[in-house]
Chain A
Amino acid sequence: EAGVTQFPSHSVIEKGQTVTLRCDPISGHDNLYWYRRVMGKEIKFLLHFVKESKQDESGMPNNRFLAERTGGTYSTLKVQPAELEDSGVYFCASSQDRGSNNSPLHFGNGTRLTVT
């Protein structure tokens, strides 16, 4: 079984540019999550999809961030325009069922975004 895959693994862009991150969850996992870790700080929740619907987007920092999951398969997270404080590692995770007690999250390797 393929795990959660994220692309690209690294991205370096200039302030004001646009970047799109992609996440392919484990096949059959309806739940998809985006998290972000700024250097040395907590892994912060961004949003949660159930299939193609946004279940919870309370962690999205502002309207420069747009997440989509058309068709309920892979997801994209676009940052436009990027700012310096957007730098960090963006993690995607998926799970079969809602909740992590009996359905743990499976994480991708993350995308390291550097905005210069």
Chain B
Amino acid sequence: GNSVTQMEGPVTLSEEAFLTINCTYTATGYPSLFWYVQYPGEGLQLLLKATKADDKGSNKGFEATYRKETTSFHLEKGSVQVSDSAVYFCALSDQGGSYIPTFGRGTSLIVHP
């Protein structure tokens, strides 16, 4: 079946540091890949997505590249801000099978001034 594995958190960084949150996946079909973000007290929001190999999703300075050969979709940002503190969820949706998104366990990011 489908599954998503994320690095354990919390990830604690100083403002302007470089961020990487690792995500790898297992899927029976050819999935679309997503990153969702949950800010404190809010629901999940779609941050970015990629629908085919080598696609790069980007939004708000965050990027992730769909790597089929390594089954990965790592989230990166060059310079984090305090306002980026949130929980980040990697997810996949297998368009050829079950379209219902499968989520990882989430990685908490804490950015200090």
Closest chain A CB from B107 CB (angstroms) = 11
Find out whether the CB atom of B105 lies under 8 angstroms from the CB atom of A107.
no
**Chain B window 1-43, contacts with chain A (Cβ cutoff 8 Å), 1 for yes, 0 for no:** 0001000000000000000000000000000101010000111
Interface majority SS (helix, strand, loop, mixed), chain A: loop
Closest chain A CB from B112 CB (angstroms) = 22
Find out whether the CB atom of A107 lies under 8 angstroms from the CB atom of B101.
no
Closest chain A CB from B47 CB (angstroms) = 10
A44 to B45, CA, bound (A): 16
Find out whether the CB atom of B49 lies under 8 angstroms from the CB atom of A98.
no
Most chain A beta-carbon neighbours within 10 Å: one of B42, B46, B102, B103: B103
Find out whether the CB atom of B103 lies under 8 angstroms from the CB atom of A42.
yes
Find out whether the CB atom of B100 lies under 8 angstroms from the CB atom of A56.
yes
Q: Which residue of B lies closest to A6 (CB)?
A: B43
Closest chain A CB from B75 CB (angstroms) = 16
Q: Which residue of B lies closest to A104 (CB)?
A: B46
**Chain A window 3-27, contacts with chain B (Cβ cutoff 8 Å), 1 for yes, 0 for no:** 1100000000000000000000000
Find out whether the CB atom of B43 lies under 8 angstroms from the CB atom of A91.
yes
A88 to B51, CA, bound (A): 31
Asked whether A43 and B103 contact (CB < 8 A) given A99-B95, A107-B44, A109-B42, the answer is: yes
Asked whether A33 and B43 contact (CB < 8 A) given A43-B106, A99-B95, A100-B34, the answer is: no
Contact of B45 among A40, A99, A107 (CB under 8 A): A107
Is A101 interfacial (CB-CB < 8 Å)?
A: yes
**Chain B window 49-72, contacts with chain A (Cβ cutoff 8 Å), 1 for yes, 0 for no:** 101000000000000000000000
The 10 closest A-B pairs by CB, nearest first: A107-B43, A43-B103, A99-B99, A107-B44, A100-B93, A109-B43, A104-B46, A42-B105, A108-B43, A101-B32
Interface residues of B (CB under 8 A from A): 4, 32, 34, 36, 41-46, 49, 51, 89, 93, 95, 98-106
Could you list 7 A-B pairs, sorted by A, with CB under 8 Å?
A42-B106, A44-B103, A45-B102, A100-B34, A100-B93, A100-B99, A100-B101
